[in-house]
């Protein structure tokens, strides 16, 4: 949008946004079978490169505002893992400043600091980040286009790690001594664990509720074709008193997670990146106050396998969570269901398939995702629903539209 408005790259100012619309039909099963619900969001963001604007190298400021109108899509299905990743938080209709941050890069990007209001799930545990490679035609821009929440933030971190729409203030440091290895640490306002809607807050709440997270990662290239892959391991700690409606309490919580993605096959590596990518995830939560005790997920994505559609993707995935049957566990995470009707199952298993068609529009259109829109169709099958053990298996269809500008 900045280019359309006449802002040059030399100005250091970038302006853009995203318009999101999805419609969901719970065909059968769940809490509200044969129900249809939609989500709508408009986000506008701006950033300023301090080197281009003021001659200060390595710095960048960013801000983002969002208008959100959501339906109780996941509650209608009775899903604990959340089959649709659109923000499942109340109030479901909100206007907020989702991000306000400053980033400073030092020593040829080996050391990066961020401070401000951020989406922590975009910085830690991100299985969707592809490996940067030197061959432009082999660069992946996506690992999966599934819409289920666990691929963006694993369920053990729901209500802990700040994520859209309840982002939070914090500080992070990222150290990458080589292009293949990194270590990262983050400290965030952890009040979302106490039920505070941090996304609606203009400033941080400084008290005993804090969220600490650390992560180590490594990337590699395999075989003669140099198939890229990466691995990450993280640990986290939540401080403060954590309560459930049954009046049990904990003094904080801890957990860990693992993730990896790997290019499995190139259809023709000599001139494009079509082929197959895989990912795996595992996570453990040691808290009796959280709804999910441990989680495992995996999936495959085919890129450019449809004739004459070189950037379209076909994604398949599964997610399974062992659930905590402590009465009221996860109360703050699933507000759409009354506490006296929530009787969590022993586990929730979910399967999903999605096809995404990408289109590039305008003179700035490019496969990197600038000035583009995509249409996605997804089918979700949840044989064991987490919110209540008596629910019938859910079948859901989703149509999604995104315009990046």
Q: How far is CA 53 from CA 14, 15, 17, 45, 377, in A?
A: 11, 14, 21, 17, 42
Band of residue 1 on the pLDDT scale cut at 50, 70, 90: confident
Q: Are 1 and 16 in contact (CB under 8 A)?
A: yes
pLDDT in the model for residue 7: 84
Average pLDDT estimate for 177-188: 97
Element (H, E) at 50: helix 50-54
pLDDT value at residue 135: 94
Q: Tell me: the pLDDT tens digits for 347-373?
A: 999 999 999 999 887 655 554 445 588
Distance CA 305, CA 357 (A): 12
**Any idea where the domains of the chain sit in the sequence?**
26-42+66-404
Residue 295 has pLDDT above 90, yes or no: yes
- How high is the pLDDT of residue 287? 84
* pLDDT of res. 33: 96
Give the CA distances from residue 60 to residues 15, 47, 166, 315, in Å, rounded to whole numbers and listed in that order: 13, 7, 23, 34
- Least confident interval from 243-247, 284-288, 390-394: 243-247
Least confident of 16-20, 336-340, 363-367: 336-340
DSSP letter string over 60-111?
Answer: EEEEEEEEEE---HHHHHT-SS-SS-S---SSSEEEEEEEEEEEEEETTTTE
Helix (H) or strand (E) holding 186: strand 181-189
Q: Specify the residue for token string 């199952």.
A: 345
Q: What is the pLDDT of residue 331?
A: 55
What pLDDT digit, counting tens, does each position of 219-273 carry? 999 999 999 999 999 999 999 998 765 667 888 999 999 999 999 999 999 999 9
Mean predicted lDDT score pLDDT of the chain: 91
Confidence class for position 341, pLDDT limits 50, 70, 90: very low
Beta-bridge partners for 397: 25, 379
Distance CA 246, CA 33 (A): 30
pLDDT band at 340 (very low <50, low <70, confident <90, very high): very low
- Determine the average pLDDT of the residues in 157-178: 95
Say what the pLDDT of residue 335 is: 42
- pLDDT confidence tier of residue 87, bands split at 50, 70 and 90: confident
- How much of the chain exceeds pLDDT 70, in percent? 92
Reading the block at residue 290, the tokens are 């959280």
pTM here is 0.90
pLDDT at 3 over 90: no
For residue 299, pLDDT over 60 is answered with yes
pLDDT of residue 290: 85
pLDDT given at position 339? 40
pLDDT tens digit sequence for 110-162: 999 999 999 999 999 999 999 999 999 999 989 999 999 999 999 999 989 99
CA 387 to CA 341: how far, in whole Å?
A: 9
Give the angle subtended at the CA of 153 by the CAs of 351 and 75, to the nearest 5°.
60
Question: CA torsion sign, 88 to 94 to 95 to 101?
Answer: negative
Q: What is the pLDDT of residue 194?
A: 87
Angle value at C-alpha 190, between 215 and 80, nearest 5 degrees? 80
Kindly report the CATH number that applies to the domain delimited by 26-42+66-404: 2.40.160
pLDDT at 249: 80
Distance CA 279, CA 35 (A): 32
């Amino acid at each position: 949008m900045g280019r359309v408005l006449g802002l040059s790259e030399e100005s250091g100012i970038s302006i853009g946004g995203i318009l999101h619309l999805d419609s969901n039909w719970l065909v059968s099963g769940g809490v509200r079978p044969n129900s249809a619900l939609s989500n709508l969001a408009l986000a506008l963001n701006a950033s300023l490169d301090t080197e281009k604007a003021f001659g200060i190298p390595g710095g960048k400021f960013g801000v983002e505002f969002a208008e959100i109108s959501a339906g109780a899509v996941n509650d209608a299905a009775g899903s604990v893992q959340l089959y649709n990743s659109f923000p499942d938080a109340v109030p479901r209709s909100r206007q907020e400043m989702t991000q306000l941050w400053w980033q400073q890069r030092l020593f040829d990007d080996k050391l990066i600091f961020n401070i401000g209001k951020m989406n922590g799930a975009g910085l830690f545990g991100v299985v969707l980040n592809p490996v940067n490679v030197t061959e432009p035609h082999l660069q992946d821009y996506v690992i999966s286009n599934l819409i289920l929440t666990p691929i963006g933030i694993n369920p053990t971190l729901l209500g802990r790690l700040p994520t859209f729409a309840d982002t939070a203030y914090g500080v992070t440091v990222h150290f990458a001594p080589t292009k293949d290895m990194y270590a990262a640490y983050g400290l965030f306002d952890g009040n979302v664990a106490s039920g505070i809607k941090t996304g609606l807050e203009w400033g941080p709440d400084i008290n005993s509720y804090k969220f600490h997270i650390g992560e180590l990662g490594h990337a590699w290239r395999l075989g003669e074709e140099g198939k890229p892959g990466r691995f990450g391991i993280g640990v986290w700690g939540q401080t403060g008193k954590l309560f459930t409606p049954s009046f049990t309490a904990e003094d904080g919580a801890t957990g860990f997670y693992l993730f990896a993605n790997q290019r499995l096959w190139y259809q023709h590596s000599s001139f494009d990146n079509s082929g197959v990518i895989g990912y795996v995830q595992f996570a453990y939560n040691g808290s009796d106050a959280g709804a999910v005790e441990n989680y495992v997920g995996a999936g495959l994505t085919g890129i450019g396998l449809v004739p004459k559609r070189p950037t379209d993707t076909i994604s398949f995935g599964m997610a399974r969570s062992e659930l905590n049957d402590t009465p009221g566990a996860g109360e703050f995470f699933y507000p759409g269901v009354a506490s006296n009707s929530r009787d969590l199952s022993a586990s929730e298993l979910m399967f999903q398939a999605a096809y995404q068609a990408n289109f590039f529009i305008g003179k700035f259109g490019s496969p990197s995702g600038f000035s583009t829109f995509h249409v996605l169709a997804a089918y979700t099958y949840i044989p064991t629903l987490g919110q209540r053990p008596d629910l019938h298996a859910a079948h859901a269809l989703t149509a999604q539209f995104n315009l990046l500008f």
